[in-house]
């Protein structure tokens, strides 16, 4: 499994209509877990969402954003990334007119070759040829 993450500083006055976009380069495989952690002090002024190929992936409600919170957000997933683009874009906004705020976003990807090797091993152990 591979962890891909970015610490993203969002400038003041970055709106939902023109969010900051930062790319996470990933590999072919399956996203197994997602993390979103806001640094202290962002109040309820910020939000982020994750997209791939121009379509929103998380949160799954297309008009929603993960709002800034002092509580870390993490969830399990089974989202396939079978081909190009091998990237996930984090879009983020910051309505604070004075201070930049920071979010850390991570995705855990189970590589396809690892999945294949595990399937081959399981077949071997089961005595299947």
* Top CATH class, 2-126: mainly beta
Confidence (pLDDT) at 57: 96
The residue ranges of every structural domain in the chain are: 2-126
Residue 64, pLDDT above cutoff 90: yes
CA–CA dist 28, 99 (Å, integer): 37
Reported confidence tier of residue 101, pLDDT bands at 50, 70, 90: very high
Three-state SS sequence of 52-105: ECCEEEECCCCCCCEECCCCCEEEEEEEEECCCCCEEEEEEEECCCCCCEEEEE
Residue 75, pLDDT above cutoff 90: yes
Buried b (16+ CB within 10 A) or exposed e, 98-126: eeebbbebbbbbbbeeeeeeeeeeeeeee
Find the mean pLDDT for residues 76-81. 95
| Phi and psi at residue 121, to the nearest 5° | -65, -45
Angle 41-104-101 (CA atoms, 0-180°, nearest 5)?
Answer: 35
Residue 115, pLDDT above cutoff 80: no
More confident residue, 128 or 126: 126
């Amino acid at each position: 499994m591979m962890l891909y993450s970015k610490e993203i500083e969002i400038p003041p006055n970055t709106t939902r209509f023109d969010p900051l976009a930062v790319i996470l380069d990933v590999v072919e495989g399956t996203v197994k877990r997602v993390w979103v952690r806001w640094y202290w002090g962002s109040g309820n002024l910020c939000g982020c969402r994750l997209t791939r190929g121009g379509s929103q992936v998380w949160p799954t409600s297309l008009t929603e954003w993960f709002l800034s919170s002092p509580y870390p957000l993490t969830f399990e997933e089974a989202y396939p990334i079978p081909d190009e683009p091998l990237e996930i874009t984090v879009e983020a906004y910051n309505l604070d007119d004075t201070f930049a705020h920071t979010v850390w976003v991570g995705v855990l990807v189970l590589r396809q070759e690892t999945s294949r090797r595990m399937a081959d091993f399981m077949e071997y152990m089961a005595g299947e040829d």
